[in-house]
Amino acid sequence: MRLLVVEDNRELAELLTKGLDAAGLAADVVATAQDARDVLATTRYAAIVLDLGLPDEDGLGVLRSLRAREDTTPVLVLTARGGVQDRVVGLRSGADDYLAKPFALEELVARLQALLRRPGELLGRSLRVGNITFDTEARQVFVGDTPQFFSAREVAVLEILMRRSGRVVSKKLVEDQLFGLSIDVGSNAIEVYIHRLRRQLADSGAKAQIHTVRGVGYLIAEDKAP
Ligand code: CA
């Protein structure tokens, strides 16, 4: 489980990473909004600690673009601006929590741990829907105990859906996430991947299905008992 710390104050960033490390949370650090955007385009983090006062851009801009592409990674905003108005703006922009400087490291760690426990997007290494399991590190999918063989792109699409199981995922989000993984997709590609996934999962006795929600997107859900 990796976190991203976006903080331009080097001493504070160092203090944060040490404190997180002591709590068993490894963190990458970037110091500008641009670096945050770059790393977030390709890397999935379990949570983000985001300073608002960054040298090149307001951290809220990073947060807004993250949420605009429906990325639900928990974000804890860290800022010197502790006023009620700033807090409201931060939360309205999609922050999950808000901590004003100066803060106690213990409180930051406790709040992050609470965010990581929050249900919603599945953050674990092993995903499960019905009898489909997905080891996200080994990139291996099983139906029951039987390993399944999909292309890397199909596996990427399945992961996006399984991380949001039971919820509708827009086609645009799937495209954006694939793009973020540097996977180039043609116009009908998503439909093709979904079609292949659906057929193979059905053929191998999966007790979950990928449903199409017309005009909206896709949803993977466990089959209801008859
Ligand atoms: Ca700052």
Radius of gyration of the chain, Cα coordinates, nearest whole angstrom: 19
pLDDT in tens, 68-94: 887 888 999 988 766 667 766 777 777
Asked if 97 and 120 touch (Cβ cutoff 8 Å), the reply is no
DSSP codes joined into one string, the chain: -EEEEE-S-HHHHHHHHHHHHHTT-EEEEE-SHHHHHHHHHH---SEEEEESB-SSSBHHHHHHHHHHTT----EEEEES---HHHHHHHHHTT-SEEEESS--HHHHHHHHHHHHH-SSS--SSEEEETTEEEETTTTEEEETTEEE---HHHHHHHHHHHTTTTS-EEHHHHHHHHHHTT----TTHHHHHHHHHHHHHHHTT-SEEEEEETTTEEEEEEPPP-
CA of 177 to the centre of ligand 1 (A): 29
Best CA proximity match to 170, nearest among 215, 106, 131, 201 = 215
pTM of the model: 0.54
**Res 43 pLDDT > 70:** yes
Can you list the domains of the chain with their CATH numbers?
A: 2-116 (3.40.50.2300), 126-222 (1.10.10.10)
- 100-114, 151-165, 197-211: range with highest mean pLDDT: 197-211
Centroid of ligand 1 to alpha carbon of 120 (angstroms): 30
Q: Ligand 1 centroid vs 33 CA: distance in angstroms?
A: 11
Phi and psi angles of residue 163, each rounded to the nearest 5 degrees, phi first: -70, -15
Ligand 1: centre distance to CA 11 (Å): 11
| Beta-bridge mates of residue 27 | 3
Question: If pLDDT is split at 50, 70 and 90, which confidence band does 38 have?
Answer: very high
Give 99 Cα–ligand 1 centroid separation in angstroms.
Answer: 13
Whether the pLDDT of residue 194 is over 50: the answer is yes
Distance from Cα 8 to the centre of ligand 1, integer Å? 5
